Structure 1
């Protein structure tokens, strides 16, 4: 898959080192929910740091902002950043809610979008 906006990409690296690329964090979250047996054995689940598009961060260490002001390529309005201070600053600027990876998966499972 070609990533349409390099600020939003995501990646799963399986236990054999093969990388699977996604357009956005919500696509990765959806895949992990649908393919639990693969994602549970994955070596890495990564998302692109919006503030540093050439940097990947592990999903468990990422801070996610879901804001109608920041449309992600696949429509769930999820933006990942590496540090909490940046996430808080972006929330002040763009509104929305801050999520961790488990909350992102729950939002994807429930198709929760900002109003």
Structure 2
């Protein structure tokens, strides 16, 4: 009986530990997995969570996209990006709308920002110029 309880607790821990839950980014102290710069920009950071539950944080969406060239994307459970209009708030990268505008610098110089809605992205595009992309389109632009 005691062995069964220990086995059950171990399985519960493994299932919860590998659930693919993102971690809170520690801005100003955590380093980018790709370029090693300190993550400070709350409007451009990104993160992915593997199916095994490991999280990888990035100072910019472009670092995450470049990292994807080096891994099997099928191992990833969840992609997240900062919402430009809600600094520090993460959103599902596959549902975000992306804007590349030379008037909005991003940490790695790709001028790439993510938005929670297409309406929000269009509003900033009207003010700042640039081109809008879906998740699929931005991955294609990065040759993924």
- Name the TM-score, length of structure 1 as normaliser: 0.87
Answer yes or no: is 1:101 the counterpart of 2:113. Answer: no
The corresponding residue for 1:31 is 67
How large is the RMSD of aligned CA atoms in angstroms?
1.4
Aligned residues: 108
In the TM superposition, 1:17-96 aligns within 5 A as 17-35=53-71, 37=72, 39-96=73-130
Question: Shift in Å at residue 86 of structure 1?
Answer: 0.4
| Higher RCO by CA contacts (8 Å cutoff, separation 6 or greater) | 1
- Counterpart CA distance in 2 for 1:20 and 1:90 is 28
Structure 2, unaligned runs of 5 or more = 1-30, 32-37
Q: Deviations over 1:72-111 (max 9, x none)?
A: 001110000101110010000000000111221222239x
Structure 1, unaligned runs of 5 or more = 111-115
The corresponding residue for 1:16 is 52
Question: Larger Cα Rg: Structure 1 or Structure 2?
Answer: 2
CA contact (8 A) 1:47 1:80 kept: yes
